[in-house]
């Protein structure tokens, strides 16, 4: 059996190669084989952030439905609420429909209001105030 968390040619876990290629079948196969849905890649981005960064909103939805956390931030300060709020994909395309559904999920989870700009997230990380809510009220 192969290691679903193995590193690819770019030295990141292979799930990120599949995400970059928008190879949804490969991502599904890797997850079914036990790939870590929260594994860190470039700048500490998780697969769901990597998919959002390239505006692959159908992949974002798939990963959310598979249990990916929506409250993560990478070292650059990118968060899913920020990326969903600032995406400029055509809302009438399949990517746009998935983006609208992602925004709805974020809103239902109480996360839409946490679409802080990356520089603000980095500052909060540096100050130790990220994530912005106490553990008692953490909606994630």
What is the spatial distance between Cα 112 and Cα 124, in angstroms, rounded to a whole number? 18
Q: Provide the residue ranges of all domains of the chain, joining segments of one domain with +.
A: 14-137
* Protein fold of 14-137: 1.25.40
* pLDDT one-digit tens code per residue, 98-112: 999 999 999 999 998
* pLDDT one-digit tens code per residue, 4-13: 888 888 888 9
Q: What is the pTM of this model?
A: 0.89
What is the spatial distance between Cα 86 and Cα 22, in angstroms, rounded to a whole number? 20
Closest CA to 93 of 64, 57, 54: 57
């Amino acid at each position: 059996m192969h290691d679903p968390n193995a590193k690819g040619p770019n030295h990141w876990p292979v799930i990120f190669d599949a995400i970059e290629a928008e190879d949804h079948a490969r991502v599904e196969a890797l997850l079914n084989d036990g790939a870590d849905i929260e594994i860190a890649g470039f700048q500490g981005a998780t697969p769901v952030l990597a998919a959002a960064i390239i505006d692959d909103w159908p992949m974002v939805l798939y990963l959310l439905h598979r249990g990916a956390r929506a409250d993560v931030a990478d070292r650059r300060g990118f968060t899913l609420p920020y990326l969903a709020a600032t995406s400029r994909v055509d809302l009438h395309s399949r990517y746009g429909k998935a983006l609208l559904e992602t925004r709805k999920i974020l809103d239902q989870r109480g996360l839409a209001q946490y679409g802080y700009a990356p520089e603000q997230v980095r500052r909060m990380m540096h100050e130790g105030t990220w994530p912005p809510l106490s553990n008692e009220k953490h909606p994630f």
